């Protein structure tokens, strides 16, 4: 099995057929500590037995885990955190510009007002007043750009580094390189939304990495994982005996097939599912949280309940040692029309929960070990679409980072005077991923996997760490 380039050799991964591909794609929750099971039978644990065992980083890490607050549909930078006075000045003026859908309208000023917050004086729109209280913890990246103006390939690129399907997600790379600190939960968890994520599971798939590293999708409402609980007529003891027998038979079968990653992942998924029956249920049991904490996240309010519950669950997951949690907002920030209503609604749903998450992480001392990221797959145009919407814009958009290793109260890069293109210190998706990996203690150039005769990495053949936003 391929490992860190600096200290391990590689082997070619066998070509898989269609049936194997389908099995791999549906092969379980992500990887479990089969080593524990094998150790009880006198078998020594190894990375091949337990691919999610914690591994050493390349150098001391600032962050242990990542929470990615993903605003699917693409919020508008110029209407959230990056106001452009020139848009107000030139509101209604027609300019030559390339757009994704139909004919472009004139330049459109933001419908929101802005204020400066914190010692850093960062600008925030009047719909995000709770998040605004934390701007001195943020490093704004205001010059992101990507390759596609269509949601699905843009989602693939921001998640995997490549705007085509089939590549490992960032979370898969992180657990491949570092493992997980909790062997009773997946190392990579996706908290989905209520309408389905464009592009589906390929956004959190393991690609050509071992199947154990793919993300586990938790549903946004109800029991987070379907069919997790054992049947009512099966006792825990009976289930344990069944799993022990399967483990014995599967381990014997695996002895003659030590390189079959799909088989190993399938074996591992049984044990992880068993342990998750109690641990996953404990994660979603908020009865142990104080009312003050519930209020902080807005879990008892109708408009903030969904995203507040996911943010609270994300905190509980990283507190329990989960490496990477991606938290998708409900609905879409895809404001092709009526941007005011669209963004107001999404801000209302996420403002209190995100502010609550940041405050809670600080109070618990988790902010020093957790990297928090906010952003979408691209941005929106400075011109209008229809009467009062904005089209897709991959040429200039923004994200912010906070937490472990981040220099708060900073801003990096700029778009032009109307917010159309990144013009000062442009940042690629590879740069973003390289920075995330650096904070986790990994050199993005050294974490590789040999596939089809080529060394692959999350950042492909590019990527620079954004040292100016790091402490």
The answer to whether 169 touches 215, Cβ cutoff 8 Å, is yes
The answer to whether 324 touches 214, Cβ cutoff 8 Å, is no
Distance in angstroms (rounded) separating the CA atoms of residues 51 and 400: 31
Regarding beta strands 370-375 and 324-328, do their DSSP bridges make them parallel or antiparallel, or are they unpaired?
unpaired
- Say if 276 falls within a structural domain: yes
Strand order in the sheet with 324-328: 216-218, 188-191, 324-328, 65-70, 370-375, 397-403, 138-144, 410-412
In DSSP notation, 316-371 reads: HHHHTT-SEEEEEPSS----SS-HHHHHHHHHHHHHHHHHHHHHHHHHTT-TTTEE
At 384, list the tokens. Answer: 């209008």
| pLDDT at 369 (0 to 100) | 98
- Say if 338 falls within a structural domain: yes
- Say if 9 falls within a structural domain: no
| pLDDT at 250 (0 to 100) | 73
The size of the chain, in residues, is 471
What is the three-class DSSP state of 106?
A: coil
Q: Which residues have CB under 8 Å from 331's CB, separation 6+?
A: 73, 193, 194, 195, 345, 346, 349
- Say if 99 falls within a structural domain: yes
pTM reported for the whole predicted model: 0.85
Please report, in tens digits, the pLDDT of each residue of the chain (471 residues total): 444 443 333 333 444 454 444 444 433 333 333 444 344 333 333 445 578 889 999 999 999 999 999 999 999 999 999 999 999 999 999 999 988 887 899 999 999 999 999 999 999 999 999 999 999 999 999 999 999 999 999 999 999 999 999 999 999 999 999 999 988 889 999 999 988 999 999 999 999 999 889 999 987 566 666 666 667 777 777 767 777 777 777 777 777 766 565 666 666 666 666 666 666 677 888 989 999 999 999 999 999 999 999 999 999 999 999 999 999 999 999 999 999 999 999 999 999 999 999 999 999 999 999 999 999 999 999 999 989 999 999 999 999 999 999 999 999 999 999 999 999 999 999 999 999 999 999 999 999 999 999 999 999 999 999 999 999
Distance in angstroms (rounded) separating the CA atoms of residues 435 and 432: 5
Alpha-helical runs (H) found in 212-304: 236-255, 261-283, 291-297
Q: For residue 44, give the CATH number of its domain.
A: 3.40.720
- Say if 197 falls within a structural domain: yes
**261-283 vs 236-255: helix axis angle to the nearest 10?**
160
- Say if 180 falls within a structural domain: yes
**18-25 vs 261-283: helix axis angle to the nearest 10?**
20
Distance in angstroms (rounded) separating the CA atoms of residues 195 and 91: 34
In DSSP notation, 157-171 reads: HHHHSSSSTTSPPHH
- Say if 357 falls within a structural domain: yes
| Spatial CA neighbour of 371 closest among 141, 50, 122 | 141
Distance in angstroms (rounded) separating the CA atoms of residues 289 and 121: 34
- Say if 383 falls within a structural domain: yes
| pLDDT at 383 (0 to 100) | 97
Q: Which residues have CB under 8 Å from 327's CB, separation 6+?
A: 67, 68, 69, 70, 191, 307, 310, 311, 314
Tell me the residue range of the domain where 29 lies: 18-469
Number of folded domains that form the chain: 1
């Amino acid at each position: 099995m391929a490992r860190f380039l600096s200290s391990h050799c590689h082997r070619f991964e066998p070509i898989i057929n269609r049936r194997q591909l389908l099995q791999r794609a549906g092969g379980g929750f992500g990887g479990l500590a089969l080593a524990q099971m094998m150790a009880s039978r006198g078998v020594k644990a190894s990375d091949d037995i337990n691919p999610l065992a914690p591994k050493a980083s390349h150098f001391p890490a600032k962050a242990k885990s990542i929470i990615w607050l993903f605003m699917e549909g693409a919020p508008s930078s110029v209407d959230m955190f990056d106001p452009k006075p020139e848009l107000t000045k030139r509101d209604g003026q027609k300019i030559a510009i390339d757009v994704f859908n139909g004919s472009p309208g004139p330049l459109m000023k933001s419908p929101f007002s802005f204020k400066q917050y914190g010692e850093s004086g960062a600008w925030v729109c009047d719909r995000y007043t709770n998040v605004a209280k934390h701007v001195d913890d943020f490093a704004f990246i205001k010059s992101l750009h990507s390759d596609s103006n269509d949601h699905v390939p843009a989602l693939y690129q921001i998640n995997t580094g490549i705007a085509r399907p089939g590549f490992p997600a960032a979370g898969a790379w992180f657990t491949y390189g570092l493992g997980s600190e909790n062997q009773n939960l997946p190392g990579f968890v996706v908290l989905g939304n209520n309408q389905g994520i464009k592009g589906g599971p390929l956004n959190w798939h393991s690609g050509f990495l071992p199947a154990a590293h793919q993300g586990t999708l938790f549903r946004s409402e109800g029991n987070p994982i379907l069919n997790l609980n054992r049947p009512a007529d099966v006792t825990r003891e009976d289930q344990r005996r069944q799993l022990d027998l399967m483990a014995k038979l599967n381990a014997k079968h695996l002895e003659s097939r030590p390189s079959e990653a799909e088989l190993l992942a399938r074996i591992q998924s049984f044990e992880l599912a068993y342990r998750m029956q109690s641990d996953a249920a404990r994660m979603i049991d908020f009865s142990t949280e104080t009312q003050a904490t519930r209020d902080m996240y807005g879990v008892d309010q109708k408009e903030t309940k969904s995203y507040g519950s996911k943010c609270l669950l994300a905190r509980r997951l990283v507190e329990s040692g989960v490496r990477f949690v991606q938290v998708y907002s409900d609905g879409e920030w895809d404001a092709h029309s009526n941007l005011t209503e669209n963004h107001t609604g999404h801000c209302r749903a996420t403002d209190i929960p995100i502010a609550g998450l940041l405050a809670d992480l600080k109070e618990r001392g988790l902010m020093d070990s957790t990297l928090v990221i906010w952003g979408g797959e691209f941005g929106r145009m400075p011109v209008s679409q229809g009467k009062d919407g904005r089209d897709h814009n991959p040429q200039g958009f923004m994200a912010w980072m906070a937490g472990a290793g981040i220099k708060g109260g900073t801003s990096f890069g700029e778009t032009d005077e109307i917010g159309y293109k990144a013009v000062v210190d442009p940042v690629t998706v590879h740069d973003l991923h390289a920075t995330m990996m650096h904070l986790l203690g990994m050199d993005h150039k050294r974490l590789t996997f040999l596939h089809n005769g080529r060394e692959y990495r999350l950042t492909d053949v590019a990527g620079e760490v954004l040292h100016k936003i790091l402490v």
